[in-house]
Every structure is written in structure tokens, then in C-alpha cells.
Structure 1
Amino acid sequence: MDDGPRNGVTEPAGPDARLLLLTGLGESLRRSGRYRDAETTLRNALTFAEEAFGPDSLDVGRVCNSLGVLYKYIGRFDESERSYRRALGIVEAHLDVAHPFVADINHNLGGLNHARGTHARGEPFARRALEIRQRACRPDHPQVAADKAALAAILHELGRDEEAERLLRDALAVFERELGADHYEVASALNNLAAIQYARGELDAAESAYRRVLMIKETLLGRSHPELAVALNNLAMTVWKRGRPRTAASILRRAVALLHHEVEREQPVRLACLRNLDSCTRSLEGGTVADDAPPS
């Protein structure tokens, strides 16, 4: 006779449930900023999925997509791309080319190329994601807005700020109306809009936007999450350009500390923070001030 859960914990009923548990835990660890623990869990999930469902199963594709996201955050871009491309190959073999999951992976490949600085390579992925999503969803759906915001970030880096700003303002209006003023997607869109304002020399608006981004992310993620480093670096560079290098240096030190244990040494945001902190410190000691634009 079954005597019920042991120690209050119910074992997963089968391989589907076990994989869901492993993948969910890995993604939860990644969202909380515990990237190293997330990698161990997701790699275990991948091994289990390959053995239980086969190496070309949709289940493997889903785990590969999750690993791709994680590796991008850590700064292991080649592994991220391999994971995404494996996921895309599996998904396109099983699903229609206009399936939302195909859009998800194209969105992620666009974001990966944005993170590694290969913006021209990322634009086709971002545009494909948006095109698929627009066919599947209503025009004011938050997922359509998220694809617009991702494409806009790439277009800004390619010097096409007019289209980028239009897409960002469209996306921001949808996020604030549909998700609320303090949602994560609002912070992401604001960050990219602030990058355009910074580039134009609209420093009052940029600083205000970056402070709002930081406030939203601190509320949602906590003050010790490594993802705050992007917002901190961007705010620091804006503050520095406005003539407050001591404040900027203090903000940059916090950013570097947040990234110390969870990302690779060559991860771009970490390198940018270290480079900017070094330049800012030297400027305080009487050296020259470098004008380093914040990463979006």
C-alpha cells in the first residue's frame, strides 16, 4: 500500500514530470542569479532528456534553449550559439516554421548577437522573430512588443536610431498598459531608450531612465543580483559624463562586485565595468576621462 509522500515531498510521477522539475529548477536558479548552480541543473536536465526522450526530441530542444539563455548571461557565447542552433534545428524539424517556439529561439539568437557585438548578424534573427510573432499574436500583445524592443536594441547599435526609437516607444506603451509600470519588460525597454538618449547627449533624460531601470530591477531581482550590473554601468557612465566621477566610480565598484563570482572573466559587461572603473579612477587621480558609451 502507498503510504504517501515521504518527508512531505512527492516524487515526480514519470520522466515528463522529472524533466519539467529539473528544467524549472534550472531556470529558477538562473533568474535568481545563481548561474553556476543553474548550469549544473540544466546540464543534468539535458542528459536526462537525451536518455529519456532521444537526442532529437522537442524536450531536448527546450532544454537546449534554456541552456542557450544561461550561457549568454555567463558570457560563454559560443556555447550559447551551439545550444540555440541545436534547439532551432530540432524545433524546425518538429514544428511549423511559423510556430511561436521558432520565434522564441530566433529572438534569443538576435539577443545573443547583440550581447556579443555582432549586431548585423543578429538583425535577421530579430526581424524573423518579430514577423512570426506578428502573424501569431494581436498587434498589441506583449510578446510582439518584446520582439520590437529586442530588434530596436540591435538597430540602435547599427546607427538606425529613428526606427529603433519608434519600436521602443511602441513596445514601452504596450508593456506599461498590459503588464504594469514596474514590470521587467518596462525596465528593458527603458534601458534601450536611455541608450539612444545618452548617444544624443540627452543626459538628463538618460539618467532619469537609468535610475528608473535600476529601481525596477532591484525591486524585482534584489540588490545582489548580477543582472543589475548592466543598469549600474549605464547609470555610472551617464553620471560620469555629467561631471560626477566619484559617484560614478562608487556605482561601478558595486557593479564589478555583483559579477565577480557568477560570470566568466571575459564576459563583456564585466570587462566594460572594469575598464570604465579603471578610466574613472585614473581621471580622479588627474588623468584623462575616457568617453565610453554604456552597453545597452
Structure 2
Amino acid sequence: MAATGDAVSPTAPSTVPGIAELGVTMQRAKDLDAAGYHKKAERWWREALQRRIALLGADVPDLAPAYERLASNLEAQGRWRDAERYRMNAVDVLENNKAADPAELGRQATRLSRNLEAQGRMAEAATVAYFAMSALCRSGTDTVDAAWGYNNVGAILSAQGKLVEAEPFYRRALEIRRQRLGAADVDTVTSFNNYGALLGRLGRVDQAVQMLRLAFEARERDNPVGDRAAESAVNLGITLDANGRAAEATPWLQKAAAIWRARKAEDDILGSDTALAVNLVHLGRAAEAEPALRRVLAVRREQQGEHAALTGQAWSNLGVTLDALGRHREALSAQDKALAIALGGGPTEMLRVADYRANRAACLNALGRKAQAIQEYRLALPIYTATLGAEAPRTQNARRGAAGEVQGINEDNPTRVILPAAR
């Protein structure tokens, strides 16, 4: 990986006072970041990087943490592209030095992959994630470091909708962590959450619920009003809701919503509002769900833009709700908007493409346009087969629809609630 960072002019002397000044500079940066003053902190992180280069030289592995801290600061400001060059520098100084710790190279590469993912560059993120996993496995394929690499690859594949491919990586990460760290360790609990959420999306409900309950109980013991407990609660609620157990899902979704509202976590509140509204649809209370989903759509359009993936999800959720209310033409229009957004997202959006085609097919069938509905199911079927597997409930529904058995599929087709990839 070629370095892409700025050239920095060394100014600090290689002396004990220079080291002391570096410590003072870093502490100022840390204090400002901790207080939320990220822009002010940036200046001090840049100065710390300059001093470290002057003291150590430009190509030593010990520079990686300095690049990493500046990158983290820039990401906190939402400047993902600016941060990318420093993430790349951190990887490069480790990759190009034979004495560098392979595990640290893997960790820095993992952070780079997540940066690329945040920019929507999923194919590049996946490539870097595999590179990171390879580095993390150099000291053994059954180590705690290796588990971190497996987990990150699983997360990237899951975010791409490649759930069948993601499953063995999440499973392997969990196996290693349980064996090496024990069931109560925070990383093992993270694997319970991640693997459970994935199994739920694959339709393996009983296994998913077991994993997610373990994750929630551990996280609730640690912090009953924390983000992690809310994450596991909402994953458990969505898993139950999407697999025909809507009544069981409601208290879990309400629990997560209460935590996030108390914490004033705006984006998470939107996600929980969506999940609760979808739950109302599945409970036969679509009229109550419509206003909430329209509010979510309005916020997504304003904050994310007309062509963002979350905006497309909001259109689709609203469309399924309108379809449940018998307003099939309005529903079809909403699904058309969702599908257009997903098709514009390239190959990483293919699972959503399949979901929106299946939802669109339900609208077409309700309007008496059976031939068009069958065609939509035929287009969705190979995507579902590749991403979810041949036995997944959504794949089976699409197979029925593609064969012309479209009656009743609408009732079995759950609305999609898309959450960020679990870590």
C-alpha cells in the first residue's frame, strides 16, 4: 500500500526536552478530544505527529499510533476522506518494516477498512479487511487476534448483504473467543450479538434468539442503560419481529427505544422508531405506523439526501405499510423509489435490491398485475439464493413467487429494518 500522507517538516530536537514537549502536546490533544473540541484538538494532534517524526524519523513503526490518533480525530469531525490518508500511512509504516508487529499491522488495517466502509467504498473495505485478517493470523489461526480479523471480515460481508459468506467468519470468531476468553468476556459477548443478529437475518430464529439473549443479559449486567444493551435488545426485537413473532418483539424494541431516548442518541432513536413502526405493521396496526414512518422518511431525506441507502429503506418501509393499508398504488410508488436508490448503489446493495423487488412484487400482485409480480420474484430469487442461501425464508418465498404461487406471499414478507453492521 503506497503512502498518501502529507510530508511533515521535523522541527523538534531529539532530546529529553523534546520528548517532554511531545507528552504535553499529546495530553492537550487528548483533553480537547475528550471534551468534544475535535477541531481544536486537531492542531495539537498534528503538532504531536510532527514532533514524533522529528524525534524518531519518518519510517518507524512507532509512528503508526500517531497517524492513528490524528485519523480518529478527523473521523470524529466527519472527515473520513482526510482521515483515510493517515490510516493508510499507519498501515504503510508497519507493512514496510519487517520488525513491526503483525498484529498491530492487522489492527491498523482493520481501522482502515472501517474508514473505507464508512465512505461507502465497500469493495475496497472488504479487500483491506481480508489483508488485515491475514496479518492478524500470522501468529496462529486460533488466536484472539485472529478472532478480531474474522469478526471484521464477517462485519464487512454482512454490511454488503453477503450473509452466507459472513456466517463462517462470525462463527469462527465466536468459537475462538469462547475458548480463549470465556463466555463473559466483552469481546465474546460482542460475538454473541453479531452472530445472533446474522442468524436472525438468515432465518435461523431459535439459534439467533439464544445468542442475542446471552448478549443482552451480559450487557445489561454491565450497564443496563448503555448503548450495547440497547443494541442487543433491538437486534433481538427485530429478529423476532421479522420471523413472525411480533408480539414477543414489542417489549424488546420498547426497551431499546427507552434507552436511546434517555441518551438522546438521535440516529439510534430514528432506528428504534422505525423498528417499532414496523412492529405495529406486523401486529396489524399499520395505520398507527404510517405517521412515524413518514417522520423517519422526512428526516432521512433531509439528513442523508434523496439517494442514500437509509432513505431507500425508509421509502420501502413506508411502502409496505401503505400496502398493508390497501393503498397499493401509493405503496408501489414508494417501492419504486426504494428500488431506484438501491440500484444506484452498485453491487454492494444487491440484498436490498432483492428485498425491494419482493416488496414491489407484493404491490403488483395486489393490483392484479400477476405477470409483473412473478417477474420481480424471478429477479429477486438468484440474489436471495446467493446472499442468504437456498433455505432462507426470503429465498423460499421468492421461489414460490417465481413459480407463480404469489397468493399469500405478501403476508409472509417482512419489512426490512436495516441496521449498521454489528462489530
Q: Structure 2-normalised TM-score?
A: 0.57
Task: State the structure with more CA Rg.
Answer: 2
RMSD: 3.7
C-alpha displacement of 1:80? 1.4
Residue 183 of structure 1: aligned partner: 226
- 1:165–1:281 distance in 2 versus 1, CA, 3 Å: closer
2:88 is matched with which residue: 32, 35, 43? Answer: 43
Does residue 250 of structure 1 match 2:295?
yes
The equivalent position to 2:116 in structure 1, one of 71, 76, 85, is 71
**TM-score, normalisation: structure 1:** 0.79
Q: Which runs of 5+ in 1 are unaligned?
A: none
SS of 2:137's equivalent in the other structure is: helix
1:249 touches 1:281 (CA, 8 Å); kept in 2? no
Q: Structure 1 stretch 64-73 or stretch 42-51: which is displaced more?
A: 42-51
Equivalences for residues 232-271 of structure 1 within 5 A? 232-239=273-280, 242-243=285-286, 244=288, 245-260=290-305, 268-271=309-312
Could you say which residue in structure 2 is the equivalent of 1:116? Answer: 160
Instruction: Give the corresponding residue for 2:21.
Output: 5
> What's the % identity of the aligned pairs?
21
Matched-pair contact (CA < 8 Å) for 1:197–1:205 = yes
User: What amino acid does structure 2 have at the position aligned with 1:101?
Assistant: D
Counterpart for residue 196 of structure 1: 239
Bigger Cα displacement from structure 2, 51-60 vs 236-245: 51-60
- Give, in whole Å, the separation in 1 of the partners of 2:65 and 2:131: 19
User: Which runs of 5 or more structure 2 residues have no equivalent in the other structure?
Assistant: 1-14, 27-47, 332-358, 360-413
CA, structure 1 residues 204+158, in 2 after alignment: closer, same or farther (shift >3 Å)? closer
Question: What's 1:98 paired with?
Answer: 142
* Residues 71-80 or 125-134, more deviating: 71-80
Aligned length: 288
CA 1:217–1:108 in structure 2 vs 1: closer, same or farther (change >3 Å)? farther
1:137 aligned partner: 181
> Take 1:43 and 1:229, find their aligned partners in 2: how far apart are those partners?
33
The question of whether the paired residues in 2 share the 8 Å contact of 1:182 and 1:216 is answered with yes
Instruction: Give CA deviations for 1:82-137 in whole Å, capped at 9, x if unaligned.
Output: 011111112222x1222211101111111222221111111110110011111111
Residues 132/57 of structure 1: CA separation in 2 closer, same or farther (3 Å cut): closer
> Over residues 29-63 of structure 1, what are the superposed CA-to-partner deviations in whole Å (9 max), with x where a residue is unaligned?
54675544443442343344445668994443222
CA distance in 1, matches of 2:209, 2:73: 32
Opposite residue 192 of structure 1, the aligned amino acid is N
Corresponding residue SS for 2:25: coil
Q: Are 2:118 and 1:87 aligned?
A: no
Distance verdict in 2 for CA 1:231–1:54, change over 3 Å? farther
Tell me which amino acid in the other structure corresponds to 2:238.
A
Contact 1:103 1:130 (C-alpha < 8 Å) held by counterparts: yes
Deviation at 1:163, TM superposition (A): 0.7
| Cα distance in 2 between the residues matched to 1:34 and 1:188 | 26
Partners of 1:110 and 1:125 within 8 A in 2:
yes
Greater relative CO, 1 or 2 (CA 8 Å, sep 6+): 1
